Amino acid sequence: MKTSYLDKQLLAIFIAEHLFFSKDYERALKPNLRLGAKSYAILDLNSALKFTERAEICARETNDKMMLSAALKQKGLVLQSMLRSDDAVDAYKKSLDIDREIGDQAAEATTLHQIGKVYRDTNRFREALEYYNESLEIKREIGNRAGEAATLHQIGTVYQLTNQFEEALEYYNESLKASREMEDEADEKMGTETEEELRDKI
């Protein structure tokens, strides 16, 4: 008998809850984090927060800093969607502290960007620019071109929202340039790979 999607989801919830309430935190961590993400994806925000906070507890109990940072980021995202902006920033900043402690620059840049977005969405534009610019600096340092393009675009939106249209256009153009350069690099790489494949067949 084929198991339905609903049956699989109920089983996943049962396992995650059983592991959590049995205090088997190491095994409960990832299932609860996954359920939080799945609940968020279907906009079941209360369930998303519940499972994500359980994952946060598991990560703290097992002293898994990388997973704790991931859980806090996910918690921030859920709280942001619930319009609980101050709580979202608090979760993101706790995640940011861990990112810096473990030296994960890519994660740090992502977290800074998200904090900037919360501030932008709540019309705290000065703070938004502060965090976006810090994120941009790290993304350029580590060569994250896609992230750089995204943050440049967001900085452009801040200037647009504050009626600084020349500055907005400048950052939009920088974002576009970064995106086009990435496309050119991808096309060039694809062309090189195709040539190599053809040579292999000769």
Given 35, 50, 84, which residue is the final one in a domain?
84
Rounded mean pLDDT, 162-167: 97
Q: Are residues 61 and 124 in the same domain?
A: no
Residue 187 pLDDT > 80, yes or no? no
pLDDT in tens, 69-93: 999 999 999 999 999 999 999 999 9
Is the domain of 69 the same as that of 121? Answer: no
Assess whether 161 and 130 both reside in one domain.
yes
Chain centre to alpha carbon of residue 158:
20
110 and 79 fall within a common domain: no
30 and 67 assigned to the same domain: yes
pLDDT band at 198 (very low <50, low <70, confident <90, very high): very low
Report the number of distinct structural domains present in the chain. Answer: 2
Considering the domain boundaries, does residue 187 fall inside one? yes
For residues 53 and 132, membership in a common domain is answered with no
| pLDDT, mean of residues 9-14 | 88
Q: What is the pLDDT of residues 107-161, one digit of tens each?
A: 999 999 999 999 999 999 999 999 999 999 999 999 999 999 999 999 999 999 9
**Residues 99, 131: Cα–Cα separation, whole Å:** 15
What is residue 76's predicted lDDT score, i.e. its pLDDT? 98
Residue 67 domain-assigned? yes
Q: Which position has the higher pLDDT, 11 or 66? A: 66
Which amino acid would we find at residue 100?
R
Q: With 0-12 CB in 10 A as exposed, 13-18 as middle and 19+ as buried, what is 114?
A: buried
Give the residue-averaged pLDDT of 11-21: 93
Q: Residue 138: give its domain's CATH number.
A: 1.25.40.10
How far is Cα 72 from Cα 45, in angstroms, rounded to an integer?
15
pLDDT band at residue 188 under the 50/70/90 scheme: low
For residue 64, what are the domain limits?
Answer: 23-84
Range 155-182 average pLDDT: 94
Q: Are residues 109 and 188 in the same domain?
A: yes
Token representation of residue 154: 């967001």
- Same domain as 59, residue 122: no
Are 115 and 93 in contact by the 8 Å Cβ rule? The answer is yes
* Token pair listed for 176: 């576009």
Q: Please report whether residue 139 resides in a domain.
A: yes
Percent of the chain with pLDDT over 70: 88
SS3 state at 120: helix
Q: What six digits make up the tokens of 186?
A: 């991808």
112, 178: one domain:
yes
Write down which residue in 84, 117, 132 finishes a domain.
84
pLDDT at residue 8 in the model: 82
pLDDT score recorded for residue 9:
83
pLDDT at 201: 43
Judged on CB neighbours under 10 Å (0-12, 13-18, 19+), 154 is buried
Same domain, 117 and 57: no
Q: What are the CA-CA distances from residue 60 to residues 12, 35, 38, 90 (Å)?
A: 22, 18, 22, 16
> Is 188 within the bounds of a domain?
yes
* Confidence label for 189 from pLDDT (cuts 50, 70 and 90): low
Query: Do 70 and 118 fall within a single domain?
Result: no
Could you list the beta-strand ranges (E) of the chain: none
Average pLDDT, the chain: 91
Helix 105-121 to helix 65-81 angle (10° resolution) is: 20
